[in-house]
Structure 1
């Protein structure tokens, strides 16, 4: 079914209020989930609410805890998210970096003791809206098997990069694994098979049963059991297809997040009493190197040339960000799509919280 994005946001804000979040924090959390749904990234939208709610009940997430700045310089921040949602510390970090970068040209932040933060692109776009280059990274729960391994160790380790351009910023936002776990969750909820070589079992054999993979990932991510298997790195199953490059990309994110922030690496976020994700943010003022309007024009010309290359009939060449901005405009008018299983979860959450669930439009 489809529901209006405004009704979704109101529902989420009310649920987050009952969970103990402040009005400001609840509005931010709701905005990140609605933004994902509007952009067609349902894996990181309202379908995450049941997971968030369970982590709040288990005190993995502490809604009333405040962000702590542990160390600060004119161009850097070290932040303790203090077991609250990753969105709260991440928005604070990015907004702080935007102010710093406007003054000094470049700045970066790392966060530890955090949680899931939604889509990485949400924060990188905050920088792009201010005419800056934005980068956002996160590690995650252990999901990904390194090249030739048969057990999960790495996170899906999202990477987002934005650059000012017209008619919208360039926005690359994706996992450094072959796919995010959220996409497998959505397939499992809808009883659909995995369409590609995304995940393997403990013998490194490809598995296409989405529910089986999701059950296995849950065991890996939330217990110290090691059933084996997990999501593949970019490059897929075989080393001959350069999957070591995807492995390397994931390790870069681990180094800039868990290691640099002195938090847990992805492999250790499932230890008892631990669920501390880490994040990394970087903002750069392109005006350090030239006039912003000129740089935007150069980037826009390059993207337009690519969009108009000769291509396979019946297809389109799209620049990262094109599809999401198209979905955003369409879903703002038509409403966002909610799958049946998520709709059932929302009914349960709504009853528990005493909040009316949005109706289909």
Structure 2
């Protein structure tokens, strides 16, 4: 596969400058870029700078407000609903998570439901913000309807990711970050760009039959829930996705189910919205609200060690702790640069020419 290796600094500067070029204030531009770069650094290439041109196209369609007035519209001591004013989810979600953390500092936990936002990048970024305060973080978002519920050929749910972040002591934090679909849509996009097939069980065609064609969504097909089919537990993925949808948007007043606006600019949002924009749900819990932090971290380390030492089926494939591959990728890419596949690099070069902003 053809890659172009770019430094973190070059990509970060370029991304900040692109966001500023579409009217995002400097601080917000740095925040948005930080979310995308964290994705690339952690090896989640589908949600990093590969998405940058998508945000620009949404801005061109006037579906993103580059300078939103993010505000609390409903509040108790430990909860709040935040309106993102159609801003970048890359900006709205971190602001909402900061509110969750502030509430947790004062009241033990903080829970924020967000409406009127847009795609917020990787869920891990927002959940991991709580780690800096020795808290457990949680984040989730609903997304464009690309997933069929179990037994359906109709697309009603998004990939609806969910993330939990747990601090540890001498080991890296445990980060449970996953889509509630069999695969994230970004993985299909990468497969399309690299002209490769996808594994069986990720997607079905418009008739409900399994396919390995990553372009099937364009033909009326759908992603499958986590579990892929009823025999392998797809009803569990459906239930998890439903939970994300309800907490993110039914609770906040955002759009849910088939009314969630699409991320791609060439598709128009539904003409009969039931709410405002995309929704998120974020939370933070103080560990010391349950037990002393040092005790918790000591036992987290013990948990990690026991699972790492689990007897493997194959000695060459030991148990992988949630978040371990991403931590390793971040350590490597911070030093050696970020490999960008050629089609994404060409997208970035197009933006470079469009806005007259140097890339490398």
TM-score, normalised to structure 2, is 0.93
SS of 1:155 mapped into structure 2 = coil
| 2-structure distance, mates of 1:345, 1:214 | 21
Indicate the residue corresponding to 2:57 in structure 1: 54
What CA distance in whole angstroms lies between the structure 2 residues aligned with 1:204 and 1:2? 39
Match of 1:267 among 240, 254, 258: 258
Aligned to 1:202: 206
User: How far is the alpha carbon of 1:273 from its aligned partner?
Assistant: 8.3
Q: For residue 290 of structure 1, what is the aligned residue in structure 2?
A: 291
Q: Deviations over 1:212-259 (max 9, x none)?
A: 22534xxxxxxxxxx3x310001113x121211111111111110110
Structure 2, unaligned runs of 5 or more: 261-268
Name which of 231, 244, 255 aligns with 1:240.
231
String of CA shifts for 1:13-50, please: whole Å, max 9, x gaps. Answer: 11111010000010011111110000000010000011
Residues 1:325 and 2:289 are matched in the alignment: no
Q: Which of 57, 79, 87 does residue 82 from structure 2 map onto?
A: 79
CA contact (8 A) 1:39 1:328 kept: yes
**Residue pair 1:258, 1:266 contacting (<8 A) in 2 also:** no
The total of aligned residue pairs comes to 345
Residue 316 of structure 1 deviates from its aligned partner by: 2.3
How much is the aligned-residue C-alpha RMSD, in angstroms? 1.3
C-alpha distance in 2 between matches for 1:307 and 1:199 = 32
- Pairs within 5 Å for 1:6-25: 6-25=9-28
* Structure 2 residue aligned with 1:346: 348
The alpha-carbon deviation at position 272 of structure 1 amounts to 3.3
Q: Which residue of 2 aligns with 1:149?
A: 152
Matches within 5 A, 1:80-99: 80-99=83-102
Q: For residues 248-263 of structure 1, what are the structure 2 equivalents within 5 Å?
A: 248-263=239-254
1:99-248 aligned within 5 A: 99-166=102-169, 167-210=171-214, 212-216=215-219, 227=220, 229-237=221-229, 239-248=230-239
Offset from partner CA, 1:90-135 (integer Å, 9 cap, x none) = 1111112112111110110011011000011101000012100111
CA contact 2:174–2:321 (8 Å) conserved in 1: yes
Which residue of structure 1 aligns with residue 66 of structure 2?
Answer: 63
For 1:145, what is the secondary structure of its paired residue? coil
